[in-house]
Amino acid sequence: MSAAADPAPAPDTVLATPHTEVGAPIVRITALRKSYGDHEVLKGIDLDVMRGEVVAIIGKSGSGKSTLLRCINGLEVFQEGSLIVDGKPLLHDSALAMRELRQRVGMIFQSFNLFPHLTVGRNVMLAPRLVKKRNAAENEARARKLLERVGLAEKFDAMPDQLSGGQQQRVAIARALAMDPGVMLCDEITSALDPELVGEVLRVVESLAEEGMTLLMVTHEMNFARKVADRVIFMHQGRVHESGAPDAIFGAPQTPELKQFLSSLHD
């Protein structure tokens, strides 16, 4: 981890260095509440995520776990509470502040959401070129390195629809990494994949975790959560119902709701 603590990243490291110190909270969520009309989906969430921490969020569908994740980069607007990412507060009303914050947060979606009209390389290079004004040669070199990082160096000029789902998701990971995020949000990123393609994506995510990337992931892959996460959060009816180390959550669940949720997975 010594390389990650260095203020300037070594030229050959692929991940950028966040502004937050190692071991300090990089995401701070305080008393966050969100509702759709009368229906409250998040009922007061307090959550600090330390830099370099890997947090898995589990729970039934409708428990608010995806909504929470989407609040962190402002895709969902919340009504109460505050949220700070890598020193940047989330201010819905300021387009500039939102873009500042979103440069610190990468997101990977269940449905990949690659830009179908652009080649793989251009998918990765688009945002750094437009938002960070990175020069063309540097941008291309970085995109090639990131694609190599996810095992797709030879697909630079391919179109997204020529790739398998697993390959598309790995391009999406490279695309998010190209913006040098301090935090990566993964929203059920393997749920749309054929079973045989899940492994290649999870291996990339796992390697990111090993390199010290802060990860928040909503996942149904319990084995993966258990293996990679530092902390598991069980959400139930819009609240953090139980949280702790993976062994405690999966091995010794405390609340009846978590016990029921875990046993329902084995049916």
Partner 1 sequence: MVDFTLWDIVRNLLLAARWTVILSVIAFIGGGLAGLILLVLPLTGNRVAELAIGGYVQVFQGTPLLMQLFLLYFGIALFGVDTSAWTAACAALTLYSSAYLTEIWRGCVASIPRGQWEASSSLALSFGQQLGHVILPQALKVAVPPTVGFLVQVIKGTALASVIGFVELTKAGGMIANVTYQPMLVYGCVALIYFALCFPISLYAGSLERKLNVGRR
In angstroms, give the least distance from the CB of 131 to partner 1: 5
CB closer to partner 1 out of 22 and 118: 118
In angstroms, give the least distance from the CB of 130 to partner 1: 5
CB closer to partner 1 out of 143 and 179: 179
Find out whether 134 and 197 touch, Cβ atoms under 8 Å.
no
In angstroms, give the least distance from the CB of 93 to partner 1: 12
Region label for 165, one of left (φ > 0), alpha (ψ between -120 and 50) or beta (otherwise): alpha
Task: Report the C-alpha gap between 176 and 217 in whole angstroms.
Answer: 14
CB closer to partner 1 out of 19 and 259: 19
How does DSSP assign 188-237, residue by residue?
Answer: STTTTS-HHHHHHHHHHHHHHHHTT-EEEEE-S-HHHHHHH-SEEEEEET
What is the DSSP secondary structure assignment for residue 161, as one 8-state letter? G
CB closer to partner 1 out of 56 and 107: 107
CB closer to partner 1 out of 176 and 208: 176
In angstroms, give the least distance from the CB of 70 to partner 1: 8
Joined together, the tokens standing for residue 104 give 């610190």
Joined together, the tokens standing for residue 62 give 């409708």
CB closer to partner 1 out of 50 and 98: 98
Task: Report the C-alpha gap between 23 and 248 in whole angstroms.
Answer: 22
- The CB-side HSE value for 214 (13 A sphere, CA atoms) comes to 27
Query: What residues line the site for partner 1 (CB under 8 A)?
Result: 73-75, 95, 99-100, 102-103, 105-107, 109, 111, 113-117, 126-127, 130-131, 161, 172, 175-176, 179
Q: Which of 216, 176, 235, 162 is nearest to 48 (CA)?
A: 216
In angstroms, give the least distance from the CB of 75 to partner 1: 6
Task: Report the C-alpha gap between 101 and 95 in whole angstroms.
Answer: 10
In angstroms, give the least distance from the CB of 259 to partner 1: 35
